Amino acid sequence: MKRRDRASDIGPVPAARIETAAESFLPMTRPSIDEETIAGVAEVLRSGWITSGPQLQAFEARLSEYVGGRPVRAFNSGTCTMEIALRIAGIGPGDEVVTTPLSWVATSNVILAVGARPIFVDIDPVTRNIDLDRIEPAITPATRALLPVDLAGLPVDRDRLHQIARRHGLRVIEDAAQALGSTWRGRRIGSFGDFVSFSFHPAKNLTTIEGGCLVLNDAREAGLAERYRLQGVVRTGFDGMEVEIAGGKFNLTDVAARVGLGQLERLAGFNARRRELASAYFRAFEDRGARELGLALPVADFAGTNWHMFQVVLPEERLRVPRAEVMRLLHDAGIGTGVHYPAIHLFALYRRLGWRPGDFPQAEYVGRNILTLPLFPAMRDADVPRVAEALVGILRAHLR
């Protein structure tokens, strides 16, 4: 990218004082990888064992400790984890899985991938998570599982969720992709429940560059997960090999696992910094009268949420410009933003399956107007008021 001021235009400038546009731009997120982890990756590369091996075993052991000793298997994405959970649960053609329409499309794509049908129910407009009051009316004789999402790391009410599942004899696959380090009533997400899926994508609170893990219930399920992870192969002795199920190629490399080990050591600090920044956002927006302008802030949960994202909802009925224009203006001010997420049922794939605009009005409204603001551990304290000032200024200039 071009420098904001070129040295040739303003005369000699000390290198330390030249600020590039790239350096001044505040991205929506950025991973923090320390030098010790980088050096550890170099050691793995030099070792000659770079695919799944001792680093993966060590990473899975540490993850298991983190969730209270439950079996954990790591994979090359936080998407295949959910698909594998569905397969272990025996869910397939003719089955239904109740889920939310406000998530990354992977949440429902995996249901289609196993031949089942997603059954969407609308969201709670305050938490932006699945509306638990709407789940039971959506359950039919074909329903086999619930697949909730902890949007932005805010946990779904686990007590009510599992009560519903027990009443109807359903499995629960928790899409906790964004909730590593979140808690429910003091208990770490993943340390209880049924299947729990986490993502280690670069935008997440812990990254392995790409990857994810699945928390399971027992050794049998863990063994099935291992087989699904690598083509269904079971090896015995020097040359014995058997395949009884159709698995895939979902293994996590030792290079990625070494990144994860370094990240896991710093996760508590990462999440603490995210909480500090989120708290600062609330103060900055309150000081600037953002609520009076109609800007909807997230739930101010500082006990259970890991603050994976800080998301606001724009006041569509009062704005004279669309969200894309707000994002462009913020980008021009050097601030990156994101959209997490459009309502799934309005994508062409899902419209072909029968869903229509108006089916889930709360998810549709939030999906049209939600805006993810910068939040990552390396942000400076001064970045938060800068973002709040820019967004509030844009709103004031474009309200009806």
Catalytic residues: 204
Q: Which are the contacts of 199, defined by CB distance < 8 A and separation ≥ 6?
A: 77, 78, 79, 81, 177, 178, 211, 212
What whole-number distance in Å separates Cα of residue 180 and Cα of residue 66? 10
Q: Phi-psi region for residue 168, left (φ > 0), alpha (ψ -120 to 50) or beta?
A: alpha
What's the token pair of residue 360?
């889930």
Give DSSP secondary structure letters for 336-362.
--B-----GGGSHHHHTTT--TTSSHH
Query: What are phi and psi for residue 296, nearest 5 degrees?
Result: -95, 120
Residue in the block written with tokens 């040359």: 239
What whole-number distance in Å separates Cα of residue 119 and Cα of residue 107? 12
Residue type at position 293: L
- Identify the CA nearest to 60 among candidates 231, 256, 213, 262: 213
What whole-number distance in Å separates Cα of residue 137 and Cα of residue 143? 11
What's the token pair of residue 205?
């609170």
What whole-number distance in Å separates Cα of residue 385 and Cα of residue 388? 5
- Identify the CA nearest to 150 among candidates 340, 285, 379, 365: 340
Burial classification of residue 389, based on how many CB atoms lie within 10 Å of its CB (0-12 exposed, 13-18 middle, 19 or more buried)? middle
Q: In degrees, to the nearest 5, what angle opens at C-alpha 123 toward C-alphas 392 and 288?
A: 15
What whole-number distance in Å separates Cα of residue 278 and Cα of residue 307? 7
- Identify the CA nearest to 349 among candidates 91, 106, 99: 106
What whole-number distance in Å separates Cα of residue 393 and Cα of residue 400? 14
